[in-house]
Amino acid sequence: MSIMVETPNPKKLLEAIYGAIDKKDGKKGGVETWTYNHEGFFTYGTGSGEWEKAAWLKPDDSKEGVLTFEYEVTAKGLLKPNCYGVYHGRFIEMLLNHFASQLSLASATSEGKRPVKLGVRIPKNRA
């Protein structure tokens, strides 16, 4: 259960995501709805706090050309049947809205045991 992002430089993209989160508060290019903890794991948060810390996305930039985010649900998230879809969908949405020029494909595995990929490929003329 993960998000996979094809990118020429996984470490650079990951640092850009952290930087955009740090740049929030209405500043241009800032990512408003995601935060990360001291370990660098991401959680989704809106003004209501409904989804905050319901799960964590743990980044792995160790593979060449691929940035992966492993999904780990918390006890709070277990109570929310849509948590998996919200975290994966909203994170990929954030990537497309802020970092499309730095990636060629963003995909998510299905929640089930089969590794079915649901992805969005970025056309060359949009990147």
- Condensed to tens digits (0 to 9), the pLDDT of residues 26-63 reads 556 688 899 999 999 999 987 788 888 999 999 999 99
Residue 127 lies in a domain: no
Q: Which spans in the chain are helix H?
A: 10-22, 75-78, 83-99
**In-domain check, residue 30:** yes
24 in any annotated domain: yes
Residue 86 covered by a domain: yes
pLDDT tens digit sequence for 95-122: 999 999 999 999 998 765 444 444 555 5
Q: Which of helix, strand or coil describes residue 114?
A: coil
Q: Give the pLDDT confidence score for residue 25 in this predicted structure.
A: 59
Q: What is the pLDDT of residue 38?
A: 95
61 in any annotated domain: yes
Structural domain that includes position 111 = 2-121
**pLDDT tops 70 at residue 93:** yes
pLDDT confidence tier of residue 78, bands split at 50, 70 and 90: confident
Closest CA to 120 of 96, 88, 86, 99: 96
Distance CA(5)–CA(109), nearest Å, equals 12
Res 55: pLDDT: 92
Domains identified in the chain, total number: 1
Q: Residue type for 81, please?
A: P
How far apart, in whole angstroms, are the C-alpha atoms of residue 85 and residue 62? 25
Distance separating alpha carbons of residues 39 and 44, to the nearest angstrom: 15
What pLDDT shows up at residue 73?
87
Per-residue pLDDT band for 20 (boundaries 50, 70, 90) equals: very high
92 lies in a domain? Answer: yes
